[in-house]
Structure 1
Amino acid sequence: MTSTPQFPPLFEGMELTGMTDPFAKAQLQATVGCDAGLVVYNMAADQLRAAIVFAPEVGLEQAMPVLVCCAIGFQNALGALAPPEVGVHLDWNGGLYVNGASCGRIQVAASTHDSGEDPDWMVVGLELPLLPIDPNTPGNAPDQTCLFEEGCVDIASEDLLSAWVRHTLVWINRMEDSGLKPLHDEWRGLAKNVGEDVSFSIGDTHYEGVFVGVDEHFGMLLRDGNETRLIPLSTLLQGAA
């Protein structure tokens, strides 16, 4: 067990304390100017929050699969550290699921929301509950869980954070070397609700239909009756650019 996270070369950590949000802090650092590879993190007793700054060199929609690399990176990291019976799956809109119950999320922000522009920066954030919201009333929210309730109490936050960054880097390198096919192949085995009816909201917009799959850049293909619509992955971008 390490006392601080250990990151790959070219990644640098920035630890936060108190209630400071790493996702917001990483966006601020990216806006004022910082190197890609900055990992901002806040490891509280009850939750792990972290964010990675990226500097894409392609257009927005082509850059968005970085979000998928981070999601798969988390699944691989927790899968390597957790007991073998722990299953981790990924929701298209960033939700993380452990043994079938909601357990945190991946979120994304970028310097632009314009699909015709190359973003100056992109930030992907992780939020992961470690302890129950209310330990005195276990089972009150059976659709939500935390690492403690899933037998992962021995996983140190710093080890999981280190593994997340490391596995994410592996997938980014694979994407750059081999294109998107390996990413699609891995994601397909981890994705929730493909082929099923889904209903969710992003901001003020509600979506529902059959989740039939994704396009090349992981935009959702949602069928409603005889019509299939594309919801670009950039729809998940947080905040105002």
Structure 2
Amino acid sequence: MSTTELSFPPLLWGEEVTTDALEHACMRAAAGCDAGLVAWRAAPDVVQGALVFAPEVPLQQAMAMLPVCGVGFQNALGVLAPPEVSVHLDWSGGILVNGAACGRFRVFASDHDPQAVPAWLVVGFTLPLLPASDRPGDTPDQTALYAEGCADVQPPALVEAWARHTLNWINRWEDEGGRPLHAEWRGLAHGIGEDVVQDGRSGTFLGVDEAFGMLLRTEDGTDVIPLTTLLEEAP
């Protein structure tokens, strides 16, 4: 399936690339491309998708686009994959398929000041299609899409569905506020109630606050780790 055969919803448009799709999206965003660009790459062993945003709110609020994109991905794969395949989301961007790590989301922005309105924000995923090793039993906590009964899922169709479901959640976030997104995300979240290590701190993952900051119960009380700690430097 070529780029011209992908059908993106209104306000979104695609660019198929042969290089890293997340890097491409960041470079296009920094060069001033319009919001709504979906950069994507489908290789035999991996699929990537990245979406460019032009936030109108401070970065601390705009970071909600990370869980928005994650929920959109889960909804998309949930439709395309066999019904017995489970898909969950890690707070820090990880994707889990049938309980094992299977790729992740990453997030980039033009400005890392939580109170500033960034010129652009990019959220994208990398999903392995084939195991990195011919001995997957050596790494039972890691998997690949095709190793989990999803060989019939076509990567371009997954990117297309991800864009469509993500746009739906963007619209709901804008129209209805954060409550529906919080409810959907919490039902998909991995590790709530478990002991975790995040941003160098150990504790029990209690859930998230209104801005999706991680609530971490430690020996000294409850810490809030904001989503902005997940930002990476743009390529």
- Return the TM-score normalized by structure 1: 0.94
1:101 shift after superposition: 0.2
Q: In the alignment, is residue 232 of structure 1 matched against residue 215 of structure 2?
A: no
Aligned to 1:51: 50
SS in 2 for 1:67: helix
Residue 102, structure 1, aligned to residue 101, structure 2 = yes
Partner of 1:221: 215
**Counterpart in the other structure of 2:191:** 193
Local SS of the residue matching 2:163? helix
Deviation at 1:32, TM superposition (A): 1.0
| Contiguous gaps of at least 5 residues in structure 1 | none
Deviating more after overlay: 3-12 vs 99-108: 3-12
Equivalent residue runs for 1:10-159 within 5 Å: 10-17=11-18, 20-134=19-133, 136-159=134-157
Distance 1:138 1:100 in 2: 14
Which piece of structure 1 moves more, 67-76 or 231-240?
231-240
Question: Residue 50 of structure 2 contacts residue 123 of structure 2 at CA under 8 Å; is this kept in 1?
Answer: yes
Pairs aligned (count)? 233
Distance in 2, matches of 1:137 and 1:212, equals 35
Preserved contact between residue 203 and residue 217 of structure 2 (Cα < 8 Å): yes
Residue 240 of structure 1 deviates from its aligned partner by 5.9
Partners of 2:85 and 2:97 within 8 A in 1: yes
Q: Match for 2:65: what amino acid? A: V
> What SS does structure 2 have at the residue aligned with 1:139?
helix
Distance 2:230 2:45 in 1: 26
Which SS does the other structure have where 2:114 is aligned?
coil
For residue 207 of structure 1, report the CA deviation from its aligned partner.
Answer: 2.3
SS of match in other structure, 2:137: coil
Determine helix, strand or coil for the equivalent of 2:136.
Answer: coil
Question: Following the alignment from structure 2 to structure 1, what is the Cα–Cα distance between the partners of residues 70 and 99?
Answer: 16
Paired amino acid for 2:157: D
| Separation in structure 2 between the aligned mates of residue 85 and residue 145 of structure 1, nearest angstrom | 16
Q: Deviations over 1:180-217 (max 9, x none)?
A: 000000011100111110124xxxx5221111111101
Separation of aligned partners in 1, 2:140 and 2:175: 41
Give the root-mean-square deviation of aligned CA atoms.
Answer: 1.3
> 1:174 is matched with which residue?
172
Give TM-score, length-normalised by structure 2. Answer: 0.96
Q: Report if the CA contact (8 A) 2:85-2:148 is conserved.
A: yes
Give the aligned residue type for 1:150.
E
- Name the CA distance, whole Å, in 2 between partners of 1:139 and 1:148: 15
Q: One-letter code of the match for 1:15?
A: E
Say if 1:206 and 1:30 are closer, same or farther in 2 by CA, change over 3 A. Answer: same
1:229 to partner: Cα distance: 0.9
* C-alpha separation in 1, matches of 2:47 and 2:232: 19
Matched-pair identity in %: 58
